């Protein structure tokens, strides 16, 4: 009886070789899929990180904006802010006008009154500092003094401000040897020097730049009035 011929690959059965080929193909596909999945996962993590970083930065910027807004709102108020009319200068809640024209003391006071103020009354060393430094810039020459609201025309030697209040002896800034109540050459001004002016073009030692002068002498003047508040909203400075 004759045997049936069998086909085979040397060293391996045909069915085994085919199964191995299929397994290899499946493993390769799984590896590719795993690599792709890892890439997608990494990309997703990068996106999540960027979004989280951007959110943190945005929140920080938002907090800064809120803080800045609160700070601005605290400065934006009707109650504490002042303003001055055109031509006047604001300082310490008061408005100051440095005149260009020269008048004698009494008429200078009239001009200030017409503008809603009066000749300046100096209430503090800080105010004197401001005025002394400001006059350095606006004076044209050494003798270009400015009237202030101080006089002893009623009683010689008793200096009072234009509003009637007496001069504080601890708050006066007379220049050396002032007031001297000079009566002029050959007594041309027997009434003496009864009005006060101020200013030193080159600056004054220890702010001492007040001078008594003849009230009839034409001088420029410093007018003063309270700053206007509550009319408009503006940022305080």
Residue-wise pLDDT for 115-166, tens only, equals 999 999 999 999 999 999 999 999 999 999 999 999 999 999 999 999 999 9
Q: Which residue has the tokens 């004076």?
A: 139
Residues 145, 193: Cα–Cα separation, whole Å? 14
Q: Which of 38, 56, 77 is the last residue of a domain?
A: 77
Same domain, yes or no, for 162 and 230? yes
Same domain, yes or no, for 63 and 179? no
What DSSP string runs through the chain? -PPPP---BTTB-HHHHHHHHHHHHHHHHHHHHHHHHHHHHHHHHHHHHHHHHHHHHHHHHHHHHHHHHHHHHHHEESSS-EE--TT-EEETTEEEEE-SS-B-HHHHHHHHHHTT-EE----SHHHHHHHHHHHHHH-SSTT--EEEEEE-SSSTT--EETTSPBPPTTS--BPTT-------GGGS-TT---EEEE--TT--GGG--EEEE-TTS-BEEEEEEEPEESSS-EE--
pLDDT digit string, tens, across residues 179-214? 999 999 988 999 999 999 999 999 999 999 999 999
Total domains in the fold of the chain: 2
Domain that holds residue 71: 19-77
Same domain, yes or no, for 141 and 191? yes
Same domain, yes or no, for 127 and 218? yes
pLDDT digit string, tens, across residues 86-128? 999 999 999 999 999 999 999 999 999 999 999 999 999 999 9
CATH number at residue 99: 3.10.100.10
Same domain, yes or no, for 95 and 204? yes
Same domain, yes or no, for 64 and 127? no
Residues 58, 179: Cα–Cα separation, whole Å? 67
**Token duo for residue 150:** 């101080």
Q: What is the pTM of this model?
A: 0.65
- Torsion angles phi and psi, residue 213, rounded to 5: -150, 165
Q: Which of 77, 92, 109 is the last residue of a domain?
A: 77
Question: Has residue 9 been placed in a domain?
Answer: no
Same domain, yes or no, for 194 and 224? yes
Same domain, yes or no, for 115 and 191? yes
Beta bridge partners of 119: 223
Same domain, yes or no, for 135 and 159? yes
Question: Has residue 41 been placed in a domain?
Answer: yes
Same domain, yes or no, for 61 and 88? no
């Amino acid at each position: 009886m004759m045997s049936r011929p069998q086909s085979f690959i040397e060293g391996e059965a045909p069915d085994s070789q085919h199964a191995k080929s299929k397994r290899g193909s499946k493993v390769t596909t799984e590896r590719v899929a795993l690599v792709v999945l890892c890439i997608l996962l990494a990309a997703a993590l990068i996106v999540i990180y960027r979004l989280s970083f951007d959110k943190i930065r945005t929140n920080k910027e938002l907090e800064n904006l809120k803080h800045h807004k609160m700070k601005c709102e605290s400065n934006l108020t009707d109650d504490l802010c002042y303003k001055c009319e055109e031509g006047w200068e604001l300082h310490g809640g008061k408005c100051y006008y440095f005149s260009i024209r020269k008048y004698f003391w009494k008429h200078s006071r009239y001009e200030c009154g017409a503008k809603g103020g009066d000749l300046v009354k100096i209430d503090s060393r800080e105010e004197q500092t401001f005025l002394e430094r400001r006059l350095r810039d606006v004076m044209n020459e050494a003798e270009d003094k400015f009237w202030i609201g101080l006089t002893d025309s009623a009683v010689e030697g008793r200096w009072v401000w234009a509003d009637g209040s007496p001069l504080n002896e601890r708050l006066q800034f007379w220049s050396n040897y002032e007031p001297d109540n000079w009566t002029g050459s050959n007594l041309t001004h027997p009434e003496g020097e009864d009005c006060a002016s101020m200013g030193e073009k080159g600056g004054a030692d220890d702010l001492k730049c007040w001078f008594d002068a003849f009230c009839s002498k034409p001088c420029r003047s410093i007018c003063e009035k309270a700053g206007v508040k509550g009319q408009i909203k503006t940022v305080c400075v």
